[in-house]
Structure 1
Amino acid sequence: MHPGPGATSLAADPPVFTLGVEEEFLLLDPRTGRNAPRAGQALAGLPEPVRGQSRPEFRRSMIEMVTPVSTGLAELRRELLRLRRSAARAAVAAGTDLVAIGATPVSEPDVDVSDEPRYRAMERQYGPVARDPSVCGCHVHVGVPDRETAVQVCNHLRPWLPVIQALAVNSPLYAGADTGHASWRSIQLERWPSLGPTPYFADAADYDRTVEALILSGVMLDPGMVYWYARPSANYPTVEVRVADVCPSVDDTVLLAGLVRALVATVCDDLRAGLRAPRLRGCLVRAAHWRAAHDGMAGLLIDLRSGRARPAWELVDDLVAAVTPALLRHDDLERIHTELDRVRHDGTGAARQRRILAAGGGTRDVLAVLAQETVRG
């Protein structure tokens, strides 16, 4: 799925950037809402062409679906819907529901990891942290020319990633109740030592030295455990943005992917113009991400350019204004405006879940709606 082959040099005219998406889903018992450890059965039930675009995940109640490389959002949407519907059919055949939600909503009686040597090593190293209930994210890959560019892009993305995170919040529930956080997934993941805001790096060599030092320290087992919110891919010439909860609908995912691609394209324009990334205080960056996870789009976000708290939708408007040339270049502006208008009206995934609860529904009502929304065209 990962974009990158044939990437254009930054010295050339502004390129059209390729993109792809990885989506993680929960398998839930349709009667109880609990996590169901049946990923093996569900993956085995996928048709052969789709099976090659699927992966087992850390938990046996999770599966991941991986899109092929796309150049347009309409193409990406078709692939997302195709993969989600195939996975949902296989999940139902395994006696479960496929649900796009960012964190375990009820409980996970079986917290054993998938039977993979790397996952077993992680369990031994991190103990109870590795046995937390499942969390599901959406990772957007955008093709860039080389690793040096990827590292510099990640530096420039830091002020904007809390805004992306706030738009994609989709995990307010834990143990069957509202946590008060729009993205409980984000809070839960803070216990992992190699996860969080991307540090600032001078260049790719600085990045590599830091990762090597973290592996030697035991904080990471290997380069694949760089779980920062944006990172150069370990295997492909892409920037991977991994700050978002898995999105409830394909249109939410398309919005996320379109904005991330436009951000990366805009940053590459800035790099071509010789602009340097701001050196932000790490404590403020962490505070901005906590605020995004807590409030989502329902309150204030920290504007990392000024250090001030501002209404969330004002920062979204600033983001769209900043990336409009890139959205126009990719013919995405109208679609992004349409999807943002929808989210303004209907709310984020977290807000939509809370609306069901406020109307008197229970957790099972929320999960039934989410299961339908996961595959809605």
Structure 2
Amino acid sequence: MGAGFKGLDRRQLATAERSPLTLGVEEEFLLLDTFSGRNLPVADTVLARLTGQALEQSRHEFRQSMIEMVTPVCSNLTQLREHLAASRAVAAAAGAAIGARLVAVGATPVAEAVIDRPAAERYERIIRQFGPVALDPALCGCHVHVGVPDRELAVQVCNHLRPWLPVIQAIAANSPFHEGADTGYASWRSIQMERWPSLGPTPHFASAAEYDHTVEQLITAGVMLDVGMVLWYARPSARYPTVEVRVADVAPTVDDAVVLAGLVRALVATVIDDIRAELPAPRLRGSLMSAAHWRAARDGLEGHLVNPLTGDLQPAWDLVDDLLDFVGPALTRDGELQTVIAGLERLRVEGTGAERQRRVHRRTGDINDVLGYLAAETTGNAAR
């Protein structure tokens, strides 16, 4: 891939003095029974065992079989890696103490016999409004936040990100199994999530005012309960002064999460350069965007992706190379180019999380072997 990188002269590095954008990551994990592989509704017990910073960085999620770990604000990928590794290790230890595996996988791989959720009125309202959709098996994502404190700029950033997010989705594919069987999709989480009416490619907005007005209309229509239910693949965060990219399955390893976050931050920095240069965001057909995301969910990096700019079907790695070409100057400016190139080279050799899971399953035929491998990947203890 290094030989394929050719974008350093595409932009002048005149903005090299600009400070790197801040970033942070939210990771959702499943708690699985060590023997059956089923989801365990033990989040309360696991979270109660956390203390100090680990407790501060933890959250309940929509299921008692899930927990979320959140990094502090970071300025570089080295800091991010340290926080991700530490939070995964302490959460895994807390789970192991009560017989639960902490597993970084995008969708429930076996079964969720008990659909328990935290006792909160908001969750009850979601279930009343959306019915069985809200009772689907648990799903786990990785949400990357990049600091963009100007909200008008954040909306424009989301416009410019749209053609690249299917590639990010493909890179992050990590959920091929459902009910113990291979679905044929690299990201089954993406397919399950499509049942939510407020999820999908981010629409194009002319301004923050248009964004806010549209969200208000969708809340009035009942498609969303509140601004927290804007589930588009990129959005100005409702909590933080950031752009939040939420298209990815949770990453199987810390290294995978670091590469994902590095690419997303570089993408945001690159499109900010384009916006300041008054380059317009591509206006893309909704049908092509939907096709591009569906193909990313189906193939991951092991097949072909739709180029939403042209509608052409291309080898997935050609579009990854295009992405690296596009964001290379930003990665160079922030000193992260070699880290991201090395991570992508590893994915090219080893495959996405989805492909690595399938490789274990092809070898053993046992879904629980896959889950044991994933649990080891989650904390960095898998054999290579």
TM-score by length of 1: 0.96
Match of 2:255 in 1: 251
Structure 2 SS opposite 1:307: coil
**Does structure 2 conserve the Cα–Cα contact (< 8 Å) formed by 1:25 and 1:100?**
yes
Match of 1:345 in 2: 349
2:26 to 22, 33, 39: 22
* Residue 87 (str. 1) matches residue 95 (str. 2): no
* Residue 271 (str. 1) matches residue 275 (str. 2): yes
Q: Within 5 Å, which residues of 2 pair with 1:1-377?
A: 14-376=18-380
Moved more, 127-136 or 303-312: 303-312
Shift in CA distance, 194/46, structure 1 to aligned 2, threshold 3 Å: same
d(CA) in 2 for partners of 1:13 and 1:84?
Answer: 34
Count of paired positions: 367
Q: CA deviation at 1:235?
A: 2.0
d(CA) in 2 for partners of 1:94 and 1:174?
Answer: 25
**Does structure 2 conserve the Cα–Cα contact (< 8 Å) formed by 1:20 and 1:69?**
yes
Q: Deviations over 1:210-229 (max 9, x none)?
A: 00000000110000000100
Q: Which runs of 5+ in 2 are unaligned?
A: 1-14
Structure 1 SS opposite 2:364: coil
> Residue type matched to 1:371 in 2?
A
Q: CA deviation at 1:263?
A: 0.1
> Residue type matched to 2:68 in 1?
E
Q: CA deviation at 1:116?
A: 1.2
Q: Deviations over 1:65-94 (max 9, x none)?
A: 000011110110000000000000111122
Q: CA deviation at 1:111?
A: 1.2
d(CA) in 1 for partners of 2:61 and 2:238?
Answer: 18
Q: CA deviation at 1:13?
A: 5.6
Q: CA deviation at 1:12?
A: 11
> Residue type matched to 1:359 in 2?
R
d(CA) in 1 for partners of 2:207 and 2:16?
Answer: 21
Q: Which runs of 5+ in 1 are unaligned?
A: 1-10
**Does structure 2 conserve the Cα–Cα contact (< 8 Å) formed by 1:57 and 1:114?**
yes
**Does structure 2 conserve the Cα–Cα contact (< 8 Å) formed by 1:45 and 1:93?**
no
> Residue type matched to 1:269 in 2?
D
Q: CA deviation at 1:49?
A: 2.1
**Does structure 1 conserve the Cα–Cα contact (< 8 Å) formed by 2:16 and 2:333?**
no
> Residue type matched to 1:148 in 2?
E
Structure 2 SS opposite 1:359: helix
Structure 1 SS opposite 2:131: helix
d(CA) in 2 for partners of 1:246 and 1:336?
Answer: 18
> Residue type matched to 1:227 in 2?
L
Runs of 4+ in 1 over 4 A off after TM superposition: none
> Residue type matched to 1:246 in 2?
V
> Residue type matched to 1:322 in 2?
F
Structure 2 SS opposite 1:23: strand
Match of 1:4 in 2: none
Q: Deviations over 1:224-252 (max 9, x none)?
A: 00010000001211000000000000000
